[in-house]
A = this chain, B = another copy of it.
Amino acid sequence: MNLDFTYHNPTRIHFGRNALEKLPEELAAHGKNILLVYGRNSIKRSGLYDKMLDILKASGKNVTELSGVKSNPTHSQMMEGVRLVRENAVDLILAVGGGSCIDCAKAISVSAWCEGDAWERYWINYEPVSNDVVPVASVLTMAGTGSEMNGGSVITHEEKMLKQGRVFPSFVNPRFSILDPELTFSVPRLQMASGVFDTFSHLMEQYFSGDDDNTTDYVIEGVMSSLIKSARAALRDPEDYEARSNIMWCATLGLNTITGLSKTQDWEVHMIEHQVGAYTDCPHGAGLAVVSLPYYRYVCRFGLDKFARFARTVWGVDISGMGLEDAALAGIAKLEGFIRELGLPTTLRELNATEEMLPLIAHSTVLLPAGYHTMTAEEVLAVLKACW
Contacts and interface: CB of A to CB of B under 8 A. Distances in A.
A242 B219 contact: no
Interface in A368-385: none
Interface in A136-186: 181
A5 B1 contact: no
Given A218-B226, A219-B253, A16 B4 contact: yes
Interface string A234-267: 0000000110011001100100001001100000
Given A219-B253, A262-B15, A246 B214 contact: yes
A215 B10 contact: no
A223 interface: yes
A262 B181 CA distance: 13
Contact of A213 (B13, B217, B229): B229
A244 B18 CA distance: 41
Interface residues of A, number: 48
B218 A222 contact: yes
A12 interface: yes
Contacts of A181: 2
Contact of A215 (B212, B214, B223, B258): B223
A3 interface: yes
A11 B241 CA distance: 31
A9 interface: yes
Contacts of A17: 4
Contacts of A19: 4
Nearest to A15: B5
A293 to B, nearest CB: 24
A4 B17 CA distance: 7
A298 interface: no
A246 B13 contact: no
A116 to B, nearest CB: 28
Interface string A1-32: 11111111111111111110010000000000
A2 B182 CA distance: 13
A198 interface: no
A272 interface: no
Given A4-B16, A22-B6, A249 B261 contact: yes
Contacts of A4: 15-19
Given A4-B18, A6-B22, A223 B218 contact: yes
A38 to B, nearest CB: 24
Contacts of A225: 218
Contacts of A220: 222
Contact of A13 (B7, B11, B241): B7
A230 interface: yes
Contact of A1 (B14, B227, B242, B253): B242
A199 to B, nearest CB: 11
Interface in A195-231: 212-223, 225-227, 229-230
A249 B215 contact: yes
B253 A215 contact: yes
A209 to B, nearest CB: 16
A15 B7 contact: yes
A379 B229 CA distance: 37
A3 B261 CA distance: 26
Contacts of A12: 6-8
7 contacts: A6-B13, A6-B15, A8-B11, A8-B12, A9-B9, A215-B227, A216-B249
Given A213-B229, A215-B250, 7 more contacts: A6-B14, A8-B12, A9-B9, A212-B242, A216-B249, A217-B226, A258-B258
When A and B form their complex, which 4 residue pairs have the shortest distance between CB atoms, in order from nearest?
A4-B16, A222-B222, A218-B222, A218-B226
